[in-house]
Structure 1
Amino acid sequence: MDYIIGMDIGTTSTKAVLYDLEGKALAYSNNLYALYRDTNGMAEEDPDEIFDAVIHGLQEILRKTDFKHGTLRGVSFSSANQSLIALDKDHQPLTRIITWADTRATKYAEELKRNGTGSLLYQHTGTPIHPMSPLCKLLWLKNEHPEIYTKTAYYCGVKEYIFYRLFNVWQIDISVASCTGIFNIFNLDWDNRALELTGVNRNQLPKIVDGYQQTLHMNAEYAKILGYPSDAPFIQGAFDGALSNLGVGAISEGEVAVTIGTSGGVRVVTDHPVIDPKERVFCYALTKKLWVVGGPVNNGGVIFRWARDNLFDAEQNTAALLKIDSYDLLTKIAETVPAGADGLIFLPFLGGERAPIWDADARGTFFGLTQMHTRANMVRAILEGIVYNLYTVLLALEEVVGKPKSIMATGGFTQSPLCRQILADIFETPITIPEDFESSCLGAAVVGMKSLGLVDDLKVVKNFIGKTNTYEPDSNNFKAYRQLVPIYIRLSRQLKSEYQNIADFQRGQA
């Protein structure tokens, strides 16, 4: 029997799954690490902590598996995109990993929007202007940390750092490169205009390679620690959002993937780059021939966690006594309230927002509160607010690529039957949920299989997905949502003029 490992280097943990060549998961590991928020807007990780998580994850999989009767063919990688690390001439980190969630470059993103440069860059890079983008992070480093900028010999993201330490190769896959805001999605190279703006030259950036690129000859130190087979390559892979689409089988025209984990996203795959005239959605590569068009949101399951930790302390204690999951208890509370939360709307912008409004200063709001509302209304409104926002991303996508033919959903948020039903009701379409929700790991594994010649087409993933559940929209809930969604959309736009004012006040208090 042959095996392959799909590994996903995420924002809060690195996960690894061992698959056979029929896509069956045989072993699993998950190694957590910290997200550092030492100052206002900061969201950083320690590159060495993540490197250790990758090593420990592989060790755990290798330890759990008896390879006497089979062969490990390779490890294929998924990773969070839009991270940035500054390195010195010896490739040693000068910074921690500045993640996609870091908003300290907000001032530079807003300036690019105001002077029109941002629109011009978007037309070439497919990356909306936002502080998440390495483009804006580079401007922030250049202007606010010149002592680091002038010492920096190289720049990369988390996956490239891992590969360099393991193999001494300096390379980036086209998928991750396309998310940086400094990559031209039409000529498939670093964008000259973006490089000139940031003052970065090509020699400071990794070589762009295909996602099917195989790398062998691991540094002896780590090969010995892992006991990794010398003839099993590491495959470069792609960024996590693209591989999540692949992992749920949403890679044909009109097949939409909705992911709701800590953050979230709505994406569809096309066979050519697509640019949104209104700049609401991104266009990134999955491979050289497949492109992912979609919108990421900051505020997914993290908002549900905030509600649990800050509004429902007593319920957490109750859940512990009853030995049930605290999230399950909260959804049971939310179920006592009808669709629409009795007219309470929640704008879930606790961490600013990316798609479709692209405003790092956006802030959360309960709207419509009256004396009749309770915490049950509030938790229901929070769950609905998360989905309202995802629905607005879908509406933007429809304008660009057409109406969806089917929607697959995955991520921790979708493990709740209530959340699945809310998703189906607000989207007014059937939602299919795969039981295996580590979609990025499966997507990475399938890219690895194709790289190794074990499958001929990425669409073979449709045979691997296994059992799914489909939730049909409940027509009894349409009336409420059809009235509330337009209010939500207008409200989120009308408050835009005040987002910066309140954000400036909050920054002044920090």
Structure 2
Amino acid sequence: MKYVIGVDLGTSAVKILLMNQNGEVCQEVSKSYPLIQEKSGYSEQNPEEWVEKTIEGLAELVKNFAGNVEDIEGMSFSGQMHGLVLLDDEHQVLRNAILWNDTRTTKQCRDIEEQVGIDTLLKITKNPALEGFTLPKLLWVKENEPTIYEKATVFLLPKDYLRYRLTGLIHSEYSDAAGTLLLDVGEKKWSKEICELLNIDLDLCPPLIASHEQTGAITNEVAMNTGLNESVKVFAGGADNACGAIGSGILFEGKTLCSIGTSGVVLSYEERSDQDFKGKVHYFNHGEEAGFYTMGVTLSAGYSLSWFKETFAADVDFDSLLKDLNEVPIGANGLLFTPYLAGERSPHADSTIRASFIGMDAAHERKDFVRAVLEGITFSLHESIEIFRDNGKKIETVVSIGGGAKNKHWLQMQADIFNVEIVRLASEQGPGMGAAMLAAYGSGWFTSLQACADTFVQVVETYHPNPDNVATYEKLFPIYQDVYSKTKDLNEQLSEFRR
């Protein structure tokens, strides 16, 4: 039996999966590392922590592996998007990595819009200038840390830096590069035009390859420190959302992913490079070589439910909190919730908007609020699905993963609100699974990623929309949408009173 390793470099931990040719998870190792938050809005990490914890995790995996280590053939990566790692001419790290959830770059976003132009930016990169992306971070360093910027010879995204440290070779790949605001998404090349408009040296951008392409093998030092064989082939990998799509079988038109974690993502496969969503949803290169994907983000999806539990029901577990969900009718007896606890991303890129309960009265019980929270989260994700549909995309099947796939009533709610078939998977390993699949495909186990998915990704349950429920939600959804416009000005006025 042969094996591959999927390394998922997350924001709080690195998760390492060992998978065999049957698509079975044989081992799972996780190693955490801290965030560095020196000021409000700042979010950084020491890239050396990623390397140390990954080496530790790989060594633990090998130590507990009962087979022949020479049968571990390949390794690939998934990683947190948008982070900035700057290297000097000796490829030494110049400063801590600035992460995706760092919000210090509002000024730089406005500078990009002014100097590049919103229309030009959307035409080339398919995405608006948001604080999370890499380019605003690069401009922030250029403006605020000019000595560091002048020493920089290349920038890397987090998982690309980790891969460099394991192989000694510098590359990036299209799915992660698409989240920088420097990639021409349709042409799959760094944008010379944007670099020139912002006076950025094009040579700062690393060489680009496809997600399944080999980027060398592990170094002798890594082999010695982990116990892996030096022949382990290393493949480029992909952005976390692209790998999550691969690991969920979102590999052809009509397939969509709904992932509800702390934030929520609706991601749909796209075979065209010329769609124009006017920046309302994200549009990135897929880890599947010929594909793209559209993506809407709800910033406080699962977080809305965990916030409600910790604030109003700290003494119960989630199963108990949701046990009466189906006793409450659609619309939660006239109660609506908008999940804007930390602002919103899609379709409202608004850092000031905040959450609302609308329609409360004395007859409402805790179970009504719980249903309203779940409906509000699902409505927010549905806004992105409706944008997809309004632009001609077909949504035939939605694969639901994360917290939203752990309750049968919530799964049925998704089927009814999205008005589409919802499926749940047998094994839900997300981005780590996608990284392992890229290694399996790159190692020649399968002729395509889809052939790999046929073995690795198995559906165990399907939920079909109930026509009566669909009709009721279609009446409720426009009311939900109206809450944003009606509360936007109020929240802007209230912002000065927030701590």
Q: TM-score under structure 1 normalisation?
A: 0.90
Cα distance between partner residues in 2 of 1:79 and 1:377: 38
CA contact (8 A) 2:183 2:191 kept: yes
1:489 pairs with one of 456, 460, 481: 481
- The answer as to 2:262 corresponding to 1:262 is yes
Q: Which residue does 2:312 correspond to in 1?
A: 311
Q: Is the contact made by 2:245 and 2:267 (CA closer than 8 Å) also made in structure 1?
A: yes
Alpha carbons of structure 1 residues 398 and 479: separation in structure 2 relative to 1, 3 Å:
closer
Is the CA contact 2:335–2:358 (under 8 Å) kept in the aligned structure 1?
Answer: yes
Larger deviation, residues 134-143 vs 392-401: 134-143
Q: Aligned residue for 1:251?
A: 251
Deviation string, structure 1 residues 377-405 (Cα, Å, up to 9, x no partner): 32322222111111000001112242312
Q: Which residue in 1 is equivalent to 2:357? A: 366
Partner secondary structure for residue 236 of structure 2 = strand
Match of 2:205 in 1: 205
Tell whether the 8 Å contact from 2:216 to 2:235 is kept in structure 1 after alignment: no
Shift of 1:154: 3.1
Equivalent residues of 2:70, 2:229 under 8 A apart: no
Moved over 6 A (4+): none
How many Å separate the matches in 1 of 2:54 and 2:251? 28
2:333 to 330, 334, 342: 342
Note the C-alpha offset of 1:176. 0.8
Looking at structure 1, the residues matched to 370 and 111 of structure 2 have their Cα atoms a distance apart, in angstroms, of 37
Residue 399 of structure 1 corresponds to 390
CA distance in structure 2 between the aligned counterparts of 1:494 and 1:107, rounded to whole angstroms: 27
Given the alignment of the two structures, is residue 465 of structure 1 paired with residue 457 of structure 2, yes or no? yes
Q: Which amino acid aligns with 1:403?
A: K
Structure 2 residue 66 is the aligned partner of structure 1 residue 66: yes
Partners of 2:423 and 2:168 lie apart in 1 by: 42
Distance 2:239 2:249 in 1: 16
The equivalent residue for 1:453 is 444
* 1:355, distance to aligned residue in structure 2 (A): 1.8
Query: Structure 1 pair 69/124, CA: closer, same or farther in 2 (3 Å)?
Result: closer
SS in 1 for 2:14: strand
Q: Following TM superposition, by how much is the alpha carbon of 1:26 offset from its aligned partner in structure 2, in angstroms? A: 1.6
Instruction: Answer whether contact 1:216 1:231 (CA < 8 A) is retained.
Output: no
Q: Deviations over 1:266-287 (max 9, x none)?
A: 1222233133243212221124
By how many angstroms is 1:9 displaced?
1.4
* Equivalent residue pairs, number: 497
CA 1:210–1:420: 2 relative to 1, 3 Å: same
Q: What is the CA-CA distance between 1:101 and the residue it aligns to?
A: 2.0
Give the C-alpha shift of residue 438 in structure 1.
0.8
Q: Match of 1:17? A: 17
Matched AA of 1:104: R
Q: Does 1:174 align with 2:174?
A: yes
Equivalence for 1:444? 435
Deviation at 1:71, TM superposition (A): 0.7
* Structure 2, unpaired ranges of 5+: none
Equivalent in the alignment of 2:91: 91
- CA distance in 2 between counterparts of 1:246 and 1:434 reads 13
Q: How does 1:92-491 map to 2 (within 5 A)?
A: 92-110=92-110, 112=112, 117-146=117-146, 148-286=148-286, 287-315=288-316, 326-332=317-323, 334-460=325-451, 461-475=453-467, 477-491=469-483
CA distance in structure 1 between the aligned counterparts of 2:418 and 2:98, rounded to whole angstroms: 34
TM-score if structure 2 supplies the norm length?
Answer: 0.92
Matched residues, percent identical? 29
**Matches of 1:188 and 1:267, distance apart in 2:** 20
| Aligned partner of residue 315 in structure 2, secondary structure | helix
Preserved contact between residue 412 and residue 437 of structure 1 (Cα < 8 Å): no
Q: For structure 1, which segment, 462-471 or 213-222, has the greater mean C-alpha deviation from structure 2 after superposition?
A: 213-222
Residues 167, 217 of structure 1: 8 Å contact kept: yes
1:435-493 deviation line (CA, Å, top 9, x unaligned): 21113222222222222222111111123212421123344544542222111112223
